[in-house]
């Protein structure tokens, strides 16, 4: 085969990628395993372990077993694990500040580089109403990350204007699952992207889930939600206005007040009932949000515990005692502190991003930010002196895993060239 030229590079890469076994070949089996574990819990896991694993009788490993495993470890392997642990941790800590270089104890230098993706797709919902704010959230963030090409899915003139003002390179009149598929795989007129971000309909979000792996995604943005934790001195009028504002997102939206004051709960509920949100719920409108009756807790710490378990997309703290809880909040897509901080400011002009984790995903996911458009790559420099120190440890660990060629490859760096 003749040498590959630069115009043929993409096709050559595609040929190499085609040799990889597709995950689709095991999709049905994996789905059945997941369904069984959801239905039967430990019993299902033990059944599959007996079939595919080692036939264990108890899943959890006791602290005594963990301690015994260390005591029984080969000293050379233990030393290798501890060295690997310390080196990986040191590089990881250095990487917290962006691009960083660290010289480790054995002499090797590891450079952590953050590199923006080459091309990003921003999806903004536009089926029932235009959302130029979602265009802003996606494009401005991608540009700040240094993405070379940013494309937008939008049709409405105000959304197209937002795309132009924020510096998008291309815009395509498409939406729904078909738009996500086009961005992920490309068509005659749409070149594929590396990352797709942005909220949208359930169809668009499910499409993002299904194309993940072909491209990166920011997450699954489902129905919206807002929890307000308020102390007795909070203003029920402002709380009710925040609940009503979030409820405008329509069907499936969950909004609720958590408070230790029955008086505040009653006053807020009365205002909610009198609002358009309450009227829609009373009429049984299909677009009505799910407004939960105020949850009165014995104290605000309990209210915070409820919120931490719920992991809301938006959390608002109102009233002096409630606002004091801010440092203790760990599970929220975005936290608003103080009565003047209307959650709606975050949707538009506060500067925070309104593309946030929903459905409890704030337990593990972040709102849209520059890191969704960046990938981290390590650049490793090992000289002869460092290789001589590292090789025995690396070889011991490789042989413990059964990889003799890995061990030999490292040890070869400590032997002079053949005569």
Q: Which of 244, 276, 273 is nearest to 342 (CA)?
A: 244
Residues 6 or more apart whose CB falls under 8 angstroms from that of 193 comprise 117, 119, 120, 121, 151, 183, 184, 215
Residue 281 confidence (pLDDT) above 80: no
Residue 176 confidence (pLDDT) above 80: yes
Instruction: Tell me the C-alpha distance between 148 and 118, whole Å.
Output: 5
State what percent of residues in the chain have pLDDT above 70: 92
pLDDT at res. 130: 86
Q: Which of 284, 221, 279, 231 is nearest to 258 (CA)?
A: 231
* φ, ψ of residue 102 in degrees (nearest 5): -135, 135
Residue 413 confidence (pLDDT) above 70: yes
Q: Please, are residues 322 and 333 in contact by the beta-carbon 8 Å criterion?
A: no
Mean pLDDT (the chain) is 88
Please state which of the ranges 99-113, 145-159, 278-292, 372-386 shows the lowest mean pLDDT: 278-292
Q: Please, are residues 186 and 340 in contact by the beta-carbon 8 Å criterion?
A: no
**Long-range contact list for 406-415, CB < 8 A, 24+ apart?**
413/382, 413/384, 413/387, 413/388, 414/387, 414/388
DSSP state of 109: E
pLDDT at res. 356: 93
pLDDT at res. 142: 95
Residue 5 confidence (pLDDT) above 80: no
Q: Is 351 left (phi over 0), alpha (psi -120 to 50) or beta?
A: left
| CATH 3.40.50.1980 at 116-219+370-375, yes or no | yes
The catalytic position among 65, 170, 206, 313 is: 313
First to last CA, the chain: 34
Domain assignments of the chain as residue spans, ordered by start = 74-107+382-414, 116-219+370-375, 225-363
Q: Largest Cα–Cα distance of the chain, in whole Å?
A: 91
pLDDT tens, position by position, 325-378:
999 999 999 999 999 999 999 999 899 999 999 989 999 999 999 999 999 888
Q: Please, are residues 311 and 224 in contact by the beta-carbon 8 Å criterion?
A: no
pLDDT at res. 284: 46
The catalytic position among 314, 354, 372, 393 is: 314
Same fold, 116-219+370-375 and 225-363: yes
Instruction: Tell me the C-alpha distance between 387 and 395, whole Å.
Output: 11
Residue 158 confidence (pLDDT) above 80: yes
314 is catalytic: yes
Q: Where are the beta strands (DSSP E) in 127-246?
A: 149-153, 170-172, 195-197, 216-217, 225-230
pTM of the model: 0.83
Label residue 54 exposed, middle or buried (CB < 10 Å: 0-12, 13-18, 19+). Answer: exposed
Please state which of the ranges 59-68, 268-277, 398-407 shows the lowest mean pLDDT: 268-277
pLDDT at res. 9: 73
The more confident residue out of 100 and 182 is 182
Residue 51 confidence (pLDDT) above 90: no
Fold designation for 225-363: Rossmann fold (3.40.50)
Task: Give residue 49's pLDDT band: very low, low, confident or very high (50, 70, 90).
Answer: confident
How many CB atoms lie under 10 A from the CB of residue 22? Answer: 9
What mean pLDDT comes out for the span 312-331?
Answer: 96
Residue 292 confidence (pLDDT) above 80: no
The more confident residue out of 10 and 371 is 371
Q: Please, are residues 149 and 178 in contact by the beta-carbon 8 Å criterion?
A: no
Residue 16 confidence (pLDDT) above 90: no
Instruction: Tell me the C-alpha distance between 355 and 299, whole Å.
Output: 31
Instruction: Tell me the C-alpha distance between 374 and 96, whole Å.
Output: 13
């Amino acid at each position: 085969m003749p040498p590959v030229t630069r115009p043929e590079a993409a096709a050559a890469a595609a040929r190499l990628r085609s040799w990889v076994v597709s995950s689709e070949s095991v999709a049905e089996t994996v789905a059945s395993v997941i369904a069984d574990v959801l239905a039967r819990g430990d019993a299902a896991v033990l059944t599959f372990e007996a079939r595919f694993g080692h036939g264990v009788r108890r899943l959890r490993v006791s602290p005594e077993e963990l301690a015994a495993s260390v005591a029984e470890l080969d000293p050379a392997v233990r030393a290798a694990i501890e060295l690997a642990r310390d080196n990986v941790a040191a590089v990881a800590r250095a990487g917290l500040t962006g691009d960083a270089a660290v010289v480790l104890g054995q002499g090797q230098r590891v450079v952590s580089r953050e590199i923006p993706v080459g091309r990003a797709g921003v999806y903004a919902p536009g089926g029932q109403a235009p959302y130029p704010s979602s265009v802003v959230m996606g494009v401005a963030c991608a540009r700040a990350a240094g993405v070379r090409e940013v494309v937008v899915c939008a049709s409405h003139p105000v959304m197209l204007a937002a795309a132009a003002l924020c510096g998008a390179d291309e815009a395509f009149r498409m939406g729904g699952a078909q738009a996500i598929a086009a961005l992920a795989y490309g068509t005659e007129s749409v070149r594929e992207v590396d990352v797709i971000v942005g909220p949208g309909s359930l169809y668009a979000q499910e499409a993002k889930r299904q194309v993940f792996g072909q491209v990166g995604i920011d997450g699954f943005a489902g129905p919206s939600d807002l929890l307000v934790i308020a102390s007795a001195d909070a203003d029920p009028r402002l709380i009710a206005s925040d609940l009503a504002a979030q409820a405008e997102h329509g069907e499936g939206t969950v909004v609720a007040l958590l408070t230790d004051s029955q008086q505040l709960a009653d006053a807020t509920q009365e205002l909610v009932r009198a609002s358009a949100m309450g009227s829609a719920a009373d009429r049984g409108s299909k677009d009505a949000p799910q407004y939960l009756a105020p949850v009165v807790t014995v104290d605000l710490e309990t209210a915070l515990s409820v919120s931490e378990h719920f992991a809301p997309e938006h959390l608002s703290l109102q009233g002096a005692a409630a606002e004091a809880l801010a440092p203790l909040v760990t599970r929220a897509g975005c936290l608003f502190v103080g009565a003047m901080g209307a959650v709606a400011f975050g949707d538009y002009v506060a500067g925070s991003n309104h593309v946030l984790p929903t459905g409890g995903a704030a337990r593990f996911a972040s709102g849209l930010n520059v890191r969704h458009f960046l990938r981290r790559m390590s650049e490793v420099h090992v000289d002869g002196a460092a290789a001589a120190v590292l090789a025995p440890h690396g070889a011991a660990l490789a042989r413990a895993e059964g990889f003799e060629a890995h061990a030999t490859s490292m040890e070869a760096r400590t032997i002079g060239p053949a005569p």
